[in-house]
Amino acid sequence: MRYKLYLPLLVISLLLLSNISVNAQATADPATLPVYAAAGAITVDGVLDEPEWGMSAPHLMFNKDGVPSGNSYTPTGGEVVKPAYLDVSTTYVKFLHQGTNLYISLNSNDQQVCRFGDSWEGDGLFMKIKGFDGSDVEWKLYYNLGGIDPDIHYEGPAYGSGAGHKNPGTVVNDSSNVDAGYTAELMIDLTGLGFDASTSSIQVLINIFDPDNYSDLVPPWGPNGNFYKQWWGSQWGPDMRTLNLMSGVVPVELTSFTANVSNTQIVLNWETATETNNHGFEVERAPDGNSFSVIGFIEGKGTTTEAQKYSFVDNNISAGLEYSYRLRQIDLDGAFSYSNVINTASIAPVNFSLEQNFPNPFNPTTQISFGLPSKSMVNLEVFNLLGEKVATLINNELDAGVHKISFDASQLSTGIYIYALTANGQNGEKFVNARKMTLIK
């Protein structure tokens, strides 16, 4: 993919879907989701203060009217158990693993955290995992206990555990209070299900329960309260979805790659959403589509959940050549991955331009390049220093883009000549410019 140096200014912004990037655009009801390895220890306390939980990786977004966006995938279906459900809260469900331990986090902004009356259901998670032997095993991590302000309740086998954290201001089972949501963590040792370190995927279904406006001792089907639930896979079964256990940690997520091209330099800018163990970026360049070589290195930020911006200026460029650029992102352990290569071949210039012919001086042929930001009527002529026209190179309509034309001066004598461009664009702009060139025989 190439940069053309004869453009005066060209800005290209590419959202990259590459080895560096974690994901493509999110969809509804994904058949699979990746589960990346945690780089550090995960403490099951419900607080979600480990850096990996803040990484931008594919996850589920449970919201009644949620629309897939970025890395937030929406579940399979939902049901209003008791109307009228008017809540607009969102619960994000993320996944990590460390060896054979699977970790699941919940992050909810629910303003009414409560039990569904005196039933067994309450705000939180219900899930099933299909074991190695084909049987389904249930886990629950939810606020289903009675009383005022109980803690989250874990129900599941002994090879799992769970914890919750009520955000400041949240009071469970108190409909008079406007809550501030909750977070929670669930850990499952997959060896308890018959899996081992070679396991690459597991089958799951996940429900998120969201009852609202219930105080302690209020019956579920009385005049107060409402209840909505959503699921990924199916509500109770048998349909399930797949979690793919990835061998690597959450990679560097490259969100944009921008190039500013001028006559004297090319400026590369790129941004990351998150980084894990990022040593840095090698900048690689290939002139005229030839082999890539390293022309610089920009140090990374290690591990961070904050967006980062980077820039590199290539001043060592030659007129008349096209350039390709890519990034080689390198982890602290030496692992690496490549970005996409930027392609400018189909991008129209933002301004009219007439570049210096190349080579110059020349004998007997040279190349003249010019840029058109819109479809234009173009006239390109050559004059001697007496003002006499000696050649008409173009006199017709051309599409927007960069154009090159070869000029053969074999019938002319040594001297200085002027080539003049007149372009009348369909965008209403008119461009007139001229340059000198030297013929030496």
Name the more confident of 237 and 287: 237
- Decide if 177 contacts 149 (C-beta within 8 A): no
| 266 pLDDT more than 90 | no
Read off the pLDDT of residues 106-157 as tens digits, 9 standing for 90 and up: 999 999 999 999 999 999 999 999 999 999 999 999 999 999 999 999 999 9
Q: Say how far apart CA 116 and CA 338 lie, in whole Å.
A: 50
| 174 pLDDT more than 60 | yes
- The listed CATH number (3.30.1330.100, 3.50.50.60, 2.60.40.2550, 1.10.3720.10) that belongs to domain 353-439: 2.60.40.2550
Q: What percentage of residues in the chain have a pLDDT greater than 90?
A: 66
Instruction: Spell out a b/e string for 391-422, using b for 16 or more CB atoms within 10 Å of the CB, else e.
Output: eebbeeeeebbbbeeebebeebeeeebebebb
Residue 215: which of 113, 91, 90, 111 has the closest Cα? 113
Q: Say how far apart CA 410 and CA 61 lie, in whole Å.
A: 69
Query: Please, what is the average pLDDT of the chain?
Result: 88
Average pLDDT of the segment spanning 288-313: 87
Are domains 3-17+251-338 and 32-247 of this chain identical in fold?
yes
CATH topology of domain 32-247: Immunoglobulin-like (2.60.40)
CATH number of 3-17+251-338: 2.60.40
Q: What's residue 264's pLDDT?
A: 57
Q: Where are the domains of the chain?
A: 3-17+251-338, 32-247, 353-439
| 3 pLDDT more than 50 | no
Name the more confident of 337 and 176: 176
Q: What's residue 99's pLDDT?
A: 93
Tokens representing residue 92 in the block = 């994000």
Reported confidence tier of residue 424, pLDDT bands at 50, 70, 90: very high
